[in-house]
Structure 1
Amino acid sequence: MSPVPPVLAMEQVTQAYSHPRTALFRAPGTFTVLDCIDFHVHAGEAVGLVGESGAGKTTLTRILTGMEKPQSGRVLFEGADIWQAGPAERARFRRSVQMVLQNPRSSLDPRMKIGTALLEPMRSLRIDGNHLDRLTEVLGQVGLDTSALERFPHEFSGGQLQRIAIARALMPNPRVLVADEPVSALDVSIQAQVLNLLKDLVRDLGLSLVFIAHDLSVVAYTTHRASVIAGGRIVETGPPVELFTRPKAPQTQNLVSAVLTVNSGLSGNAL
């Protein structure tokens, strides 16, 4: 019996960009952002990706969600290459993989009521059905009531806006949520509420979660498995607690040692 394939995966993905041209008759150089990346998430699994700024997290996110085509390698959804798929398969991929961005205030139109903003994915993806019933269902899943539908973004706190952003990502009934630094713009007191919400959604809805962050403690709290990216390469993968208490790769050791903790100051030994 063959093992169940990941719901979303990258195989040997490489991405490079050209430097600006500096001479008329000289070809511009290139720099590699991702170098032979393998990354995957199974159904119902929460996977973390952690790395410092410039490590390649944003480019990996864009390729994983189909916003950017890799120079080489494959992006697979349910075992099929999304860049070789037909229109129907591509449309299903777009509905099934949704993003939660870092700053919900900038991702919501300030002139648009929340109800209208939540319906945008259904219209743009041409999803049929009773959208009003779906609105009520999704708002309940993120802990908001229907009174939010008639209000504007400026009437909500940062934590409430992130719940609304999560609700918008849930509207098409996706299989995978890709959360890009979803709590880094929130107060520490609110971060735990949003993290617990994401954990509950993975458990209750059977969602797959790709959680991208630079905060090791957040990744360890939220995910089942984590990968460390540095210099465009995955340097280490494993259970978060083991990864961050007994790191093997020098890049992981540097990330752990950079964590500020109450008990050990700059050393990070209390993680």
Structure 2
Amino acid sequence: MSAATPILALKAVSQTYRLARQSLFAPRPTLTVLDGIDFDVRAGEAVGLVGESGSGKTTLTRMLTGVERPRGGEVLFDGADVWAMDAPARAGFRRAVQMVLQNPRSSLDPRMRVGTSLLEPLRSLRIGGDHLARIHEVLDQVGLSRSALERFPHEFSGGQLQRIAIARALMPNPRVLIADEPVSALDVSIQAQVLNLLKDLVRDLGLGLVFIAHDLSVVAYTTSRVSVMSSGRIVEVGRPLDLFTAPRAEATQSLVGAVLRVETGLAGNALD
């Protein structure tokens, strides 16, 4: 496969949901959440997806991970339709695309030692090999000591917990990481450390990274290409610097206006 070929792509993806009837004999109304979405990520590339709350980012994430089937369009992994794959190919897709969630405190079992948590993806995905060696390798990649394996989540800071969550996502040796608001629950002083870690993983491991957030400034620091979502559509795509300096879509202008700048103090519009 060519390096220019996307690992993971959405082609004209749409999704609608049936709502409850407003009256006994009325037809059930529908809600369009995604409308003709095109999106992709390549090996060694970090791409951003930004948009206000309710723009459709969560539903798009469910499409990228194969959790939800679109009403229209295709979800492609290495050029093959995810929903037309046989069982072995689908299992390969599940291993290759992994999630890093917003709040590591809620995504890690508080009763489970870190070492056991890191083993879970290998067991659930039935991945063989030297599990301990893989755990040690991943701990080195995220900058954690091996003493972390015997500790419980409550013994770690928020930044350390997010490193553990990233380590767990790396355990199956994925080709794509999807990071959904991965630093929004962290102190500002810790955010840069996690963002730098993600950038290093993209560079060193050749991962594709999809970074999803509502904060354009955070996405701009981490990614080289950004798609802006609004009302279920991608309304603008470009380099972060271009979107900052010359936003065209109204949604992009609102996101840029929400970024706090030192020279303007607290000027700008607050996001919900």
User: Same fold by TM (over 0.5)?
Assistant: yes
- Alignment correspondent of 1:7: 7
- Alignment correspondent of 2:166: 166
- Alignment correspondent of 2:129: 129
Identity value in percent: 73
In the TM superposition, what is the alpha-carbon distance from 1:267 to its structure 2 partner? 4.9
Are the aligned partners of 2:3 and 2:43 in contact in 1 as well (CA < 8 Å)? no
- Alignment correspondent of 1:117: 117
The answer to whether residue 181 in structure 2 is matched with residue 178 in structure 1 is: no
Distance in 1 of aligned mates of 2:242 and 2:30:
36
What is the DSSP-based 3-state SS (H/G/I as helix, E as strand, rest coil) of the residue aligned with 1:263? helix
Distance in 2 of aligned mates of 1:2 and 1:153:
41
Amino acid at match of 1:24: L
- Alignment correspondent of 1:262: 262
Q: Aligned runs of 1:1-271 on 2, under 5 Å?
A: 4-265=4-265, 267=267
In the TM superposition, what is the alpha-carbon distance from 1:38 to its structure 2 partner? 0.2
Distance in 1 of aligned mates of 2:55 and 2:234:
10
Amino acid at match of 1:216: L
- TM-score normalised over the length of structure 2: 0.96
Distance in 2 of aligned mates of 1:240 and 1:26:
46
Moved more, 259-268 or 125-134: 259-268
Distance in 1 of aligned mates of 2:225 and 2:135:
32
Give per-residue Cα distances to partners, 1:144-190, cap 9 Å, x unaligned: 01111111111111000000000000000000000000000000000
Distance in 1 of aligned mates of 2:21 and 2:161:
42
What is the DSSP-based 3-state SS (H/G/I as helix, E as strand, rest coil) of the residue aligned with 1:83? helix
Distance in 2 of aligned mates of 1:152 and 1:242:
44
Distance in 2 of aligned mates of 1:4 and 1:252:
27
Distance in 2 of aligned mates of 1:237 and 1:182:
21
Distance of aligned partners of 1:114 and 1:251 in 2 relative to their CA distance in 1, 3 Å threshold: same
What is the DSSP-based 3-state SS (H/G/I as helix, E as strand, rest coil) of the residue aligned with 1:199? helix
Amino acid at match of 2:75: V
What is the DSSP-based 3-state SS (H/G/I as helix, E as strand, rest coil) of the residue aligned with 1:76? strand
Structure 1 stretches (4+) deviating beyond 3 angstroms?
A: 1-4, 265-269
What is the DSSP-based 3-state SS (H/G/I as helix, E as strand, rest coil) of the residue aligned with 2:112? coil
Amino acid at match of 1:111: R
Distance of aligned partners of 1:251 and 1:266 in 2 relative to their CA distance in 1, 3 Å threshold: farther
Which runs of 5 or more residues in structure 2 are unaligned?
none
Aligned residues: 269
In the TM superposition, what is the alpha-carbon distance from 1:29 to its structure 2 partner? 0.3
In the TM superposition, what is the alpha-carbon distance from 1:266 to its structure 2 partner? 5.3
In the TM superposition, what is the alpha-carbon distance from 1:24 to its structure 2 partner? 2.2
Distance in 2 of aligned mates of 1:198 and 1:2:
24
Amino acid at match of 1:21: R
Which runs of 5 or more residues in structure 1 are unaligned?
none
Distance in 1 of aligned mates of 2:21 and 2:123:
41
Moved more, 49-58 or 17-26: 17-26
Amino acid at match of 2:152: F
Distance in 2 of aligned mates of 1:267 and 1:17:
38
Distance in 1 of aligned mates of 2:2 and 2:40:
17
In the TM superposition, what is the alpha-carbon distance from 1:191 to its structure 2 partner? 0.1
